[in-house]
Structure 1
C-alpha cells in the first residue's frame, strides 16, 4: 500500500527541475527555474519550478503539481505507472499491495460498476413518460439541454422496486452497500430514491460515487426536499466536493475556486459561464474539504447567502479554517444580497452581477472581526472586554505561530481603535479637519496629484489660532520631537523638492504638526513647490512659518540653507526619517510591552527588549543630530 510517508519520500528523492528539464527548456532564475508554460501557449515565461518546495506552478494558466502530477498530467501516465517509473529512477521499491487492501479496491471497482449502471438507468428514466414532471422542473430552472446532459440529470421512478428491477444483474447486498437500497428489519428492502430528480455526484476522477435527489411531488412535508446518498465505501460526504472534477481544470485558467452552498447553485453558475464552482454535500465545509481546496488555489472564495443562516455558515467555515491557516493559504468570503442565492442573483441581474459580487470578497480576518464586533451590544466596559476575549480565543486556535501573532496584532489594533477612540484636538476641531487628528486615520492613502482632504482650495483655510505655533507644538507632545518637526519644516523651505519623495511617509505619521498637512495638500494640488511660496501658503491657511525659537538651543545643518547642498539635503532626509519612523517604533514598543505584561514569556521579553534597543538607537541618533551643529 502506498502510504503518504512513502510518497513523500519518493518526491524528496526526485529532483523536479531535472525531471521537467527532460522535455522543457528551463532557465535558472534565482532559487527557481522558469520556462514558457508547457500547458498553454505563451510568449513570456510564467512557468516556475521550485526544487526546494517540490512543485511547479504556472502563473498564467494556474497549472500546479509535484513530480507525480507532472508524470500524469504532462506525460499522460496512469498514477501507478507514474509512481513505478519515478520509484525505479529513485532506487525505491514499490510496496507490495496488502491483500486486504487489494480486496477492498476490487470491491470498490465493483461498486463503481453498480453506480455507473444506476446513473444510466436514471438518465434513461428522465427521457421516458415518467420523467415528464422532472423535465418540466428543469425547464423552470432555465437549464438547457446541454446543461442537463453535461451534469447528468436523471429521474428516479416512484416505485419502491424500480431500481432493483433495472439492476437485477447485481446482487441485493451490493445495491444496499452502494446506498441505492435501504434494508430494514422484518421488511423487504426498497429503493432509497423514489420520485425524485436525480443528480450524480462524482469523485475527483469523474466517476459516479453517490447521488443527490430533489423531491418533485408537492405537499410531501414528511420527506426531505433534498436527499443524498449515505456514506459508503465509495462516498464520504465530508471528503467530497461536488463538481471538483470539472471545477479543477477551470480553476487553472481563472486562478480561483468558488464554494457555494448547494449543487443546484453550482449548476446555475456553470450555466451562466462560471465554471470554477464547487459545493459541500449537506454539511458545513470540513477541514478535509478546505485542504482539498488549497491543493488547487491558495485563496478559495466561499459564497454564502445573505441571511442569518448564511452568516452562521460563514462563521463555521472561519472557525474551522483558523487552525489550518498556513503562509499564503486562507479563505475569502462573499455574502450575497439578502434573500438571493446565486441562481436568483443571476436571473435577476445577470452573470456580470455575480462576477461583481465575487470580486468584492473579503478576507477571513475582516469577517471574523466584523462578526464578533456586531455579535453583541458593546455599551459597557465589560461588554468591550468580552469582545477582546472572544477575539483572542479565536487567535489561540491558530496553529501557525507567525500567523497567530499577526492576527493577534491586527485584531488588537482594531479593538483598540474601536474601544479607545483618540480624543480630538481642540484647536483642530475649531475649524476644518487637517487630517492629522485621530492619528491620521481620516486621511486617505497619499497619491501624487490627488487633491486630498487638506487641500486649501477644496476645504478652505484652517482658522488662525490665538496660540502661537510654538505653544501648539508643545501640546503635540513636546520635547525634541517638536523641535525636530519645526526644524524639518524650516529645512523644507530651502529644499522643497524633498517633500515629494517623502510625502506618503509624512502623510501616515500620527500627531504631526498640522503645517505638514497644509504643505502636502498644496503639493497634491500643484505639484513641486518653490521655496518662496511656502511661507505664503502657510500664512494663507492661518498658520505661521516656523521660527528659530521653535528649535532654539539646537542647530541643524539644513535649517538656514547655508550648508553644503548635498550634505544638508541628506541630513534633512535623515531628519524626516527619524520624524516619521519614531512614532511607529514607539507604538510597536508599547504593544510589545502590553503583550509581555499579559503573557510574560521569553519570546515576548526578547521582542520588547529588541524594540526598546531600537528606540534607544533612534533617540541617540536624534541627540547626535540636535547637538552636532550646536553653537
Structure 2
C-alpha cells in the first residue's frame, strides 16, 4: 500500500516517541532528562541491567549503545509488536487520531508532483534572491538596511525580492517550466473570470518558508507599498503548503531546541530573524494567523514548554488569550506554555536594538505560566466588591478550567486559582482602635491587656504564615541543593501543611544527584510535573526571598536556618493552642487567658511581628500583594549577612 506524501511526516509530528517507547520500558530517572526529551532505559531488544537505550524525543529517533538497534516510532512498533510496516503505521495512526488513507494507486504520481513543485519553488527563490541584488531591488535593500538587517543575515535567511509585473512567470517560462505547475506551486494567480495568470507576489520582500525536512514549500512577502491591501502575504494553499500546519524557521529552531535552547514563538518573520541573530535560534512564528492546534502540536514536539512572545498591548494580550482557550483542552503533564509579554508598542526587534540582548532575555526569564495569564484575563480592570461579582469571577474561572481534560492538571489549576481568589477576597484588616476610646468604625472600645494584646486568637491565620514559610524553605532548597544534607535532620521533622509542599519535600529529600539546582528542578518536574514547581516559584513571598533572588550558600543557609526555626515555633504554638482549647471547659478563665498569652508571646518572639501594626503592601510583578513587613524582614536579614550588598 502506498501512502500519500506528507502522511508519515504528519504522523511523526503528532506522536511523541518517548510515549510510544514508554509502553515497553522503564525509564532510568537518574540518567533521563524529561524536560529536554532525553530519555534512557534498559534496552527492550536485548537483556541488560544498565540503561544503554537512548531516546531523543525531539528528533524522533532511538539508539541502543549495546545492540545498536535504531530507528523511529514506526520501527519501534514493528520490532516490538512483530508487525509489518503498514500495520505499525495503522497502530500509530489510531493513537494519533489520524485516519488511514484509502489505497491510492496514484501515490507515486503525487510524490513526483510534490518534488516538481519543490524544484519550481527553488528556481523561484534563486530569481528572488538575484532580483534583490540588482538595481530593481534597490528600495528593498534600503528598507532592510534601515531595519538593520546585515547582508550576511539576508543570505542566512535567503531573503529575496519579487519585482512588479509578471517578471517571475516570464523568467521561469524561459527556463521551460509549465505555468500550470507554477500556479500549483502557489507562485501564480488565476482570476476566476478566465483572464491570464499573473505573478502572485509583486513588489514584495520575500521570505522562503521551509518545512521541518528543509523542503521549500511556499513564500511569505512583505509589501513595499505602505498602501498595499495586505502588509504581509503568504502563498495560497497547495499540495505542499497549509499555513495552519506550518511554522516559519522550524528546521533551524528544532536543531537549536534540541541543544537545550528555549523554544520561542514570535509573531512574524522579522521577529524570528531578529531573535535568531541575537542568539535565540530556537524561534518560530505562525504564518499570519492565530496559533492553530496543529501548530501547537508541532511546538510541543520541539519543546515541552514553549514561550509565546507577544507585544504587551491590547492586540498582543488578545492573541495570548486565544492561545489559552486553544491550549486548555490539550494540556497534559509535560506539555505547558509560558507567555512573555513585551513592553507596549515594542516588538523583539525594537527591544533588542534599543536595549540589547539582555533586555530580551529578561523578558523571557519573566515569562508567566498560563494560569497567571488566565487569572489576569478574568480580573484585570474589574472590581469585585459584591458577592455577585465574586461569584461571576468564580464561575468564569471554573468554565475555563472545565476545558482541561487532564484531571490532575485541572486540579492544580483549580488549586492555584483558589489561592489567588483567597488573596483577592480576603477581608481587609479592621482599623486599629484608639486605646481606651470609642471608635465608630470598630464598635465598642477595645483596651488590650498585657495577656491578650497579641493573643493567638487575635493573631490572624497562622496556617497562612506556615504555608508561606514552607514555600520559602522549599524554594531555597531547590536553588541551593548543597544545603539538603546539612539541614537533613531538621527537614525530616517538618510536618508540611500543604499537600503539594509535602510531595515536593519528599522528592527533594530523595534527591541523590550532584548539588546542581537545574538537576534538582528537573528531578522534581520528572516526578511531579512542571506545574507544581511553577506555582511554588510564582508565589510573591518566594520571589522576594534573598536565597531565590540572589542565591549564594551563605545567604541561603542563614535564611533556611531562620525559616526552619520559625516553623518549629509555629508548630509548637499550634500544638499548645489546640491543647488549651481542649482544656478550656475544665480550666478557669484566668488560666486559659494566661496560657493563650504565653502562646502568643512565644509566637511573636518567633516571627518578630506586632500583630496590631498596620500591614502595608506592595504589588509583585505578577499582580499579587506582598506584605511589606515581610519584604523588609528579608532585606534586614540580607543586610546582616552581606553588609556590602545593601540596596
Taking structure 1 as the reference length, what is the TM-score of the superposition? 0.61
Equivalent residue, structure 1, for 2:208: 200
Where in structure 2 are the equivalents of 1:399-414 lying within 5 Å? 399-414=405-420
Once the two structures are superposed, what CA deviation does each residue of 1:340-382 show, in whole Å capped at 9, x if it has no partner?
1101110111001111110111111111012111154333322
> Structure 2 matches for 1:516-531, cutoff 5 A?
none
Q: How does 1:46-57 map to 2 (within 5 A)?
A: 48-49=40-41
1:212 aligns with 2:209: no
Which residue matches 1:92?
A: 83
- Do the aligned residues in 1 keep the contact of 2:311 with 2:346 (CA within 8 Å)? yes
Residue 336 and residue 498 in structure 1: after superposition, are their counterparts in 2 closer, same or farther (change >3 A)?
same
In structure 2, the CA distance between the partners of 1:436 and 1:548, relative to structure 1 (3 Å rule), is closer
Q: For the structure 1 residues 233 and 75, does the alpha-carbon distance in structure 2 shift closer, same or farther, using more than 3 Å as the test? A: farther
Q: Which residue of 1 aligns with 2:367?
A: 361
How far residue 270 of structure 1 moved from its aligned partner, in angstroms, is 0.9
Among 120, 123, 127, the residue aligned to 2:129:
123
Alpha-carbon offset, residue 14 of structure 1: 9.6
Q: Classify 1:424/1:107 alpha carbon distance in 2 versus 1 (closer, same or farther; 3 Å).
A: farther
1:170 equivalent in alignment to 2:161: no
CA shift, 1:422, in A, is 7.2
1:23 maps to what in 2?
none
Structure having greater relative contact order (Cα 8 Å, sep ≥ 6): 2
Secondary structure, aligned partner of 1:445: helix
Distance change (3 Å), C-alpha of 1:64 and 1:437: same
Q: Equivalent residue for 2:626?
A: none
CA deviation map 1:184-239 (0-9, x unaligned): 1142221111111111011111111111111123xx42422111112111111111
Instruction: Give the match's secondary structure for 1:99.
Output: coil
Aligned length: 456
1:435 deviation in Å?
A: 12
1:523-543 CA-to-partner distances (Å, cap 9, x unmatched) read 9669979xxxx9xxx9xxxxx
SS at match of 1:264: helix
| Superposed counterparts of 1:2-81, under 5 Å | 31-32=27-28, 48-49=40-41, 63-64=56-57, 68=61
Change (3 A) 1:36 1:338: closer
1:249 aligns to 2:272 (yes or no): no
SS in 2 for 1:167: helix
Asked if the contact 2:463–2:497 (Cα under 8 Å) also holds between the matched residues in 1, the reply is no
Mapped pair 1:276 → 2:276: no
The equivalent of 1:566 in structure 2 is none
Summarize deviations over 1:33-91 as a string: whole Å, max 9, x none. 88799xx9xxxxx7523779xxxxx9xx99425875659xx999998xx9679848964
Distance of 2:112 and 2:267 partners within structure 1 = 34
Aligned to 1:600: none
Counterpart of 1:316 in structure 2 is 322
Tell me if the contact between 2:16 and 2:301 (Cα under 8 Å) persists in the aligned partners.
Answer: no
Q: Distance in 2 between matches of 1:142 and 1:149?
A: 14
Given the alignment of the two structures, is residue 445 of structure 1 paired with residue 477 of structure 2, yes or no?
no
Measured in 1, the distance between the counterparts of 2:371 and 2:120 equals 45
Partner of 1:484: none
Q: Which runs of 5+ in 1 are unaligned?
A: 19-27, 41-45, 53-57, 451-496, 510-520, 539-544, 556-631
Match of 2:529 in 1: none
Report matched runs for 1:306-385 at 5 Å.
306-374=312-380, 376-385=382-391
Query: Match for residue 161 of structure 2?
Result: 155
Are 1:500 and 1:523, in contact at CA under 8 Å, matched by a contact in 2?
A: no
Between the aligned partners of 2:464 and 2:207, the Cα distance in structure 1 is: 52
- Structure 2 stretches lacking a partner, 5+ long: 45-50, 87-101, 433-447, 476-487, 501-557, 587-647
- CA displacement at 1:334 relative to structure 2: 0.9
Give, in whole Å, the separation in 1 of the partners of 2:286 and 2:457.
51
Cα separation, partners in 2 of 1:433 and 1:196, compared to 1, 3 Å: farther
Rounded Cα–Cα distance in structure 2 between residues aligned with 1:369 and 1:125: 50
Kindly report the root-mean-square deviation, in angstroms, between the aligned alpha carbons of the 2 structures: 4.9
1:395, CA displacement in angstroms? 1.3
1:143 pairs with one of 142, 149, 152? 149
Equivalent residues of 1:33, 1:50 under 8 A apart: no
Rounded to whole Å, the distance in 1 between the matches of 2:559 and 2:85 is: 73
Task: Provide the C-alpha distance between the structure 2 equivalents of 1:118 and 1:435, rounded to a whole number of angstroms.
Answer: 78
Cα contact 2:55–2:61 (8 A) shared by 1: no
Change (3 A) 1:216 1:435: farther
What do residues 426-472 of structure 1 show as CA deviations (whole Å, max 9, x unaligned)? 87997899996355546753567x9xxxxxxxxxxxxxxxxxxxxxx
C-alpha distance in 1, partners of 2:317/2:198?
39
Distance 2:465 2:76 in 1: 62
Verify the 8 A CA contact 2:261 2:282 in the aligned structure 1.
no
Checking the alignment, whether the CA contact within 8 Å between 2:307 and 2:337 is kept in structure 1 is: yes
Partner of 2:197: 189
Deviation at 1:336, TM superposition (A): 0.7
Of the two, which has the highest radius of gyration?
1
Deviations, residues 93-152 of structure 1 (Å, cap 9, x unaligned): 334973233322222111111111111110111111111111111111212222111100
Shift of 1:173: 1.5
Give the deviation of 1:325 after TM superposition.
0.5
In the TM superposition, what is the alpha-carbon distance from 1:15 to its structure 2 partner?
7.3
Structure 1 residue 223 and structure 2 residue 195: aligned?
Answer: no
Equivalent residues of 1:202, 1:242 under 8 A apart: yes
CA gap of 1:405–1:429, structure 2 versus 1, over 3 A, is farther
Instruction: Note closer, same or farther for the CA distance 1:349–1:505 as it changes in structure 2 (3 Å cut).
Output: same
- Looking at structure 2, the residues matched to 33 and 442 of structure 1 have their Cα atoms a distance apart, in angstroms, of 34
CA distance, structure 2, for counterparts of residue 94 and residue 10 of structure 1: 18
Q: Is the 8 A contact 1:17 1:33 kept in 2?
A: no
